[in-house]
Amino acid sequence: MGRLNYHHLYYFWQVARGANLTETAQRLHVSQSALSAQIKQLEQSMQVQLFQRQGRRLVLTDSGYQTLKYAEDIFSRGQELEQLLLNGMQSQHSPLRIGTLATMSRNFIESFIAPLLGNPASRYSLFSMTQTALLNALAAHQLDLVLSNIAVQGNDSQLWQCRLLARQPVAVIGPPNKAAGSALPAYQQQRWVLPPVQSPVRTAFDALAAQYQLQPEVIAEADDMAMLRLLARDSGALTVMPAVVVKDELNSGRLQQYLTLPEVHENFYIITTQRELVHPQLQHLLHAFS
């Protein structure tokens, strides 16, 4: 039997993820001194220093970073095994758990899960959250995949698998007979409802507006595609969004697509983690959407 104590390693893992001994001790319902002692025993048994103190903060050493990588893999696999055992070893019959960014287009989400809608044997659950909550749930094996319009990159503690799923062109959309023209200068003196300034779509629109000396009168902003859809439909103003967001309104004639913005896209991503066990429906879903 090796010298590695996995109980000690677990406490190290919890502290390393939070970098705060007091808060971690409270969360784990142990004393701070007991938690420190567990980590010290791990360091002594492995003859390595895992943390160094900078002021009131604990900072990982190089050895600590390497240990954290292995601990993430070990306990992530453990959580995966726990979920598998709790599901009675019948993962193929368990619901596919899909997390979606709360501000995403519902129409796009529906188009992604269309193969599930058409399969009577499919079982799935949808959860709408913030990006941070989605990634935390994915890391804890509470979700099988995440749909988002925000890309993520892996780091030392988590290896995300982020794949570009689709790129939807962004268009000027508004009430019928509101405007006409093949370039933005034709849309002077129009009222607009737009995504917030920090969004990639808004940044691209503002750059084009500056290029064509367009000064849009922005009457409202919304980071939620569902809300932007309602504002476009009911405010009488123009907006910019992928046509898929308002496909029903475009088909019914309540809204009209006027102009596709050059080189402006809304990107949609699927985010997963590296796992030994992948839900059987996930590969089928990805193949159907590609």
Mean pLDDT within 165-173: 92
Task: Confirm whether 24 is domain-assigned.
Answer: yes
State which of 86, 120, 151 marks the end of a domain: 86
Reported as a single tens digit per residue, the pLDDT across 252-271 is: 999 999 989 988 999 999 99
- Domain of 134, CATH number, reads 3.40.190.10
Task: Confirm whether 213 is domain-assigned.
Answer: yes
pLDDT interval class at 101 (50, 70, 90): very high
For residues 68 and 120, state if they share a domain: no
Burial, 288: exposed, middle or buried (Cβ in 10 Å; 0-12, 13-18, 19+)?
middle
Task: Confirm whether 1 is domain-assigned.
Answer: no
Counting the structural domains of the chain, the total is: 3
What was the pLDDT predicted at 129? 92
What was the pLDDT predicted at 84? 66
For residues 129 and 195, state if they share a domain: no
State which of 44, 67, 86 marks the end of a domain: 86
Portion of the chain with pLDDT greater than 90, in percent: 31
For residues 28 and 75, state if they share a domain: yes
pLDDT interval class at 1 (50, 70, 90): very low
Give the start-end residues of each E strand in 48-186. 51-54, 57-60, 96-101, 124-129, 145-148, 160-174
What was the pLDDT predicted at 179? 65
Does residue 95 surpass a pLDDT of 90? no
Mean pLDDT within 29-56: 87
Q: Alpha-carbon torsion 99, 102, 106, 112, what sign?
A: negative
Contact assessment for residue 231 and residue 193, using Cβ atoms and an 8 Å cutoff:
yes
For residues 151 and 175, state if they share a domain: no
pLDDT interval class at 158 (50, 70, 90): low
Task: Confirm whether 226 is domain-assigned.
Answer: yes
- Domain of 38, CATH number, reads 1.10.10.10
State which of 52, 86, 120 marks the end of a domain: 86
Structural domain for 52, as ranges = 6-86
For residues 161 and 203, state if they share a domain: no
Alpha carbons 198 and 217: distance in angstroms, whole number: 18
DSSP 95: P
Q: Which three-class secondary structure state does DSSP give residue 238?
A: strand
Q: Alpha-carbon torsion 222, 223, 226, 229, what sign?
A: positive
For residues 189 and 232, state if they share a domain: yes
Alpha carbons 263 and 205: distance in angstroms, whole number: 10
Alpha carbons 100 and 205: distance in angstroms, whole number: 25
Element containing residue 213 per DSSP (H, E): none
For residues 144 and 283, state if they share a domain: yes
